[in-house]
């Protein structure tokens, strides 16, 4: 038995409310990555019909509407206004002003990115089944965490905005990552234009997914986050600790726990050797 | 000059995109705590009128509605259904089903607590001014971070649910904290009842605030978070780094950065000596 394995097998760690002895009796298996899977379309929720929308036009609308009410409002209205043009009521009467609350991670508090909150609210409005909602939201959120953004560029604009990989769905983590990648300040006009273009990206991605979904061509891509799968092996409801329920990328916040990280790296390698 | 001060004055830390030399030329002042301040009522947003609601009855409604659509839906419908009873339209036609998306921190992803997302959405619907929305949201969110919850107990129930201080507005952090305080699993019926009662608490707190606000008796309490004030002194848009915009409690995630925490403690003490 090598030193690492010996350490793994005998280590006790303070975790959760108590101490968990990682003996040979505890043989966790890392959850496998989800495989891509076709999801059948459902009936529109509560009679709120959907009609194919053009992703590029939707992105341009979101970019335009950002100046009226920031990120959540931009994404939400880019879709609702087009459906109101096509169907009239009930879309025409929807109180879109309410979606301004999501700016800056809800009232400027820095929590969930408003573009994602707006997109998830649209999924809630249009898709009736909870499991399907969850799958669409996970798809969109993973893509946001892992993709260099913003991609959208307004027509006739010559300005280039640097991209960054957010690594998180939280407003303050996503914007901080971008300020570090771009060397622009959090209060700069470039940062505001980045969030404005990002609204275009999320709106475009969302309607691409919804177009496929309502046409019966949507395949949940099984976007993977290896750290989440590794961490929930112990911390999740199937694990020994049963203390955490999350799909958020763990290492955006928790990688800075030096002691835990050393343990998790070791733990992960040992588990891989066992597989 | 004592050792600590000397270290503070000569230390260079890797932070943000580059290295910041903390010389005597850099004399940050920690932002003062906000003082409580009266906020005048505004007109209802877009004609969506408000009428005084009973906090205890609203809490009971949220607790009841939780089983239909989880946390965000519970808080949102507890208020909307009562306003629909009083005013009819436009409340009667609001597509409340959409709010189910907020369960488990949005589609189960673990981000913003759904009770807070639902309450903030109501503030967005009912309050017209952005600065006032932000103040109400900050008040509610700080209270949630700092208060032992749940407090609500359904009538005729004999079961006691342990309380915990969330220390965070995020679903997965809040629930994990509670599982550790209660020694109940994340998938347990006790954890679900905790989130159900928490929906009652947030709904009750929200309508207490809205009652005061629309009657002209609302004073933003100036809830303080000393760590946020300390961290944004350097990281915020007025600081040297200008990389972060947030009001979230920092130490829920970032306390585990051992090196940074040692530095921040030292830094903070030195700044206090300078004040």
Beta-bridge partner residues of A170: A112
Nearest to A264, CA basis, from B174, B268, A256, B265: A256
A54 exposed, middle or buried (CB, 10 Å; 0-12, 13-18, 19+)? middle
- Specify whether the CB–CB gap between B90 and B124 falls below 8 A: no
pLDDT value at residue B95:
97
For residue A85, with 0-12 CB atoms within 10 Å meaning exposed, 13-18 middle and 19 or more buried, which class applies?
Answer: exposed
Residue B101, CB-side half-sphere exposure with 13 Å CA sphere? 26
B256 to chain A: which residues are within 8 Å by CB? 254, 256-258, 260
Contact A103, A228 (CB under 8 A): no
CA dihedral sign, ordered B73, B182, B207, B36: negative
Residue whose C-alpha is closest to residue A110's, from B260, B237, B244, B225: B244
User: Does residue B148 have a pLDDT over 50?
Assistant: yes
Check residues A127 and B231 and name the one with the higher pLDDT: A127
| Residue A39, token pair as written in the block | 């999801």
Flag whether residue B245 sits within 8 Å of chain A, measured between CB atoms. yes
Tens digit of each residue's pLDDT (9 = 90 or more) over B252-261: 887 644 455 5
CA distance B231 to chain A (A): 13
Burial (0-12, 13-18, 19+ Cβ within 10 Å), B212: middle
| B32, pLDDT greater than 70 | yes
Read off the pLDDT band of B199 (50, 70, 90): very high
CA angle B256, B260, B263 (to 5 degrees): 130
Q: Which two tokens stand for residue B137?
A: 């949201």
Which one, of A137, A26, A172, lies nearest residue B245 by Cα? A172
Whether the Cβ atoms of residue A197 and residue A12 lie closer than 8 Å to each other: no
Residue B171 and residue B113 in contact, taking contact as beta carbons nearer than 8 Å? yes
Q: Does B141 touch chain A (CB under 8 A)?
A: yes
Task: Provide the pLDDT for residue A175.
Answer: 96
Confidence tier at B19 by pLDDT (50, 70, 90): very low
Longest CA–CA span in chain B (Å) reads: 70
Place of tokens 């505001």: A192
Partner-chain contact A108 B247, CB within 8 Å? yes
Ramachandran region, residue A46 (left: φ > 0; alpha: ψ -120 to 50; beta: rest): left
Contact A26, A122 (CB under 8 A): no
SS (H, E, C) B70-103: HHHHHHHHHHHHHHHHHHCCCHHHCCHHHHHHHC
Query: Would the pLDDT of B66 be above 80?
Result: yes
* Closest to A111 measured CA to CA, from A72, A66, A169: A169
Q: Which of A93, A186, A245 sits opposite B245 (nearest CB)?
A: A186
Among A236-240, B71-75, B162-166, B263-267, name the one with the lowest average pLDDT: B263-267
Average pLDDT over residues A80-102: 97
Say whether residue A179 is in contact with chain B using an 8 A CB cutoff.
Answer: yes
Predicted ipTM? Answer: 0.86
Mean pLDDT of all residues in A7-23: 37
Q: Cα–Cα distance between A2 and A148 in angstroms, integer?
A: 40
Residue holding tokens 């981000």? B111
pLDDT of residue B85: 98
Residue B80, token pair as written in the block: 């909307």
Q: Look at B120 and A106 and tell me if their CB atoms are within 8 Å.
A: yes
- From CA B44, how far away is CA B49, in angstroms rounded? 5
User: A12: which 2 tokens?
Assistant: 């006790």
Contacts of B248 in chain A (CB under 8 A): 105, 109-111, 172
CB-nearest to B130 from A46, A100, A171 is A100
Q: Tell me which of B3 and A99 has the higher pLDDT.
A: A99
Res A5 pLDDT > 80: no
Q: What mean pLDDT do residues B218-236 have?
A: 83
What percentage of residues in chain B have a pLDDT greater than 90? Answer: 61
The pLDDT of residue B236: 86
Best A107, A120, A257 residue to mutate vs chain B (most B CBs within 10 Å): A107
Q: Which of B16, B101, B170 sits opposite A124 (nearest CB)?
A: B101
pLDDT band at B91 (very low <50, low <70, confident <90, very high): very high
Q: What distance in Å separates the CA atoms of residue A111 and residue A109, rounded to the nearest whole number?
A: 6
CB B235 within 8 A of CB B241: yes
Mean pLDDT of B111-121: 98
Compute the average pLDDT of residues B156-162: 92
Query: Which residues of chain B make contact with A46, given a CB cutoff of 8 A?
Result: 95, 97
Burial class from Cβ neighbours inside 10 Å (0-12, 13-18, 19+) for residue B155 reads exposed
DSSP assignment of A156-177: T-------B---SSBHHHHHHH
Q: What percent of chain B has pLDDT over 70?
A: 82
Residue carrying structure tokens 């673990």: B110
| Residues A147-182 pLDDT 10s | 999 999 999 898 999 999 999 999 999 999 999 999
pLDDT of residue A203: 98
Q: Is the pLDDT of residue A92 over 50?
A: yes
CA-based nearest residue to B13, from B274, B260, B270:
B260
**Residue B243 DSSP label:** -
Per-residue model confidence (pLDDT) at position A272: 59
A49 neighbourhood in chain B, CB within 8 Å: none
| Model pTM score | 0.86
In order, the DSSP letters of A202-258 are HHHHHHHHHHHHHTT--EE-----HHHHHHHHHHSTTSSS------S-THHHHTTBH
Contact call for residues B48 and B88 (beta carbons, < 8 A): no
Give residue A26's pLDDT band: very low, low, confident or very high (50, 70, 90): low
pLDDT, residue A253, reads 81
In this structure, chain B runs to a length of 275
pLDDT of residue B250: 84
Q: What is the percent of chain A with per-residue pLDDT over 90, rounded to a whole number?
A: 61
Q: Any idea which of A121-135, B25-39, B62-76, B148-162 has the lowest mean pLDDT?
A: B25-39
At A208, is the pLDDT very low, low, confident or very high (cuts 50, 70, 90)? very high
* CA A192 to chain centroid: 20
Taking the alpha carbons of B180, B183, A134, B143 in that order, is the dihedral positive or negative?
negative
Name every chain A residue with its beta carbon within 8 A of the beta carbon of B243: 176, 179-180, 185-186
pLDDT band at A202 (very low <50, low <70, confident <90, very high): very high
Mean predicted lDDT score pLDDT of chain A: 85
């Amino acid at each position: 038995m090598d030193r690492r394995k010996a350490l793994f097998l005998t280590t006790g760690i303070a975790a959760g409310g108590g101490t968990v002895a990682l003996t040979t009796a505890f043989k966790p298996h890392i959850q496998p990555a989800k495989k891509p899977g076709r999801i059948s379309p459902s009936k529109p929720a509560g009679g709120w019909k959907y009609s194919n929308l053009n992703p590029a036009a939707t992105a341009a609308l979101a970019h335009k509407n950002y100046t009226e009410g920031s990120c959540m409002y931009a994404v939400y209205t880019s879709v609702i206004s087009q459906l109101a043009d096509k169907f009239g009521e009930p879309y025409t009467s929807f109180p879109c002003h309410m979606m301004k609350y999501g700016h800056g991670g809800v009232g400027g508090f820095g929590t969930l990115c408003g573009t994602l909150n707006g997109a998830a609210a649209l999924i809630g409005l249009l898709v009736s089944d909870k499991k399907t909602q969850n799958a669409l939201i996970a798809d969109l959120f993973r893509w946001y965490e892992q993709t260099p953004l913003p991609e959208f560029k307004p027509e006739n604009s010559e300005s280039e905005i640097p991209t960054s990989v957010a690594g998180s769905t939280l407003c303050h983590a996503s914007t901080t990552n971008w300020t570090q990648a771009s060397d622009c300040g959090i209060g700069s006009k470039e940062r505001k234009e980045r969030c404005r273009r990002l609204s275009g990206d999320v709106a475009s991605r969302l309607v691409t997914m919804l177009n496929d979904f309502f046409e019966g061509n949507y395949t949940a891509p099984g976007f993977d986050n290896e750290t989440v799968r590794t961490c929930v092996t112990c911390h999740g409801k199937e694990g020994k600790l049963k203390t955490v329920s999350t799909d958020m990328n763990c290492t955006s916040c928790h990688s800075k726990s030096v002691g835990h990280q050393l343990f998790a790296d070791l733990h992960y390698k040992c588990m891989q050797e066992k597989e």
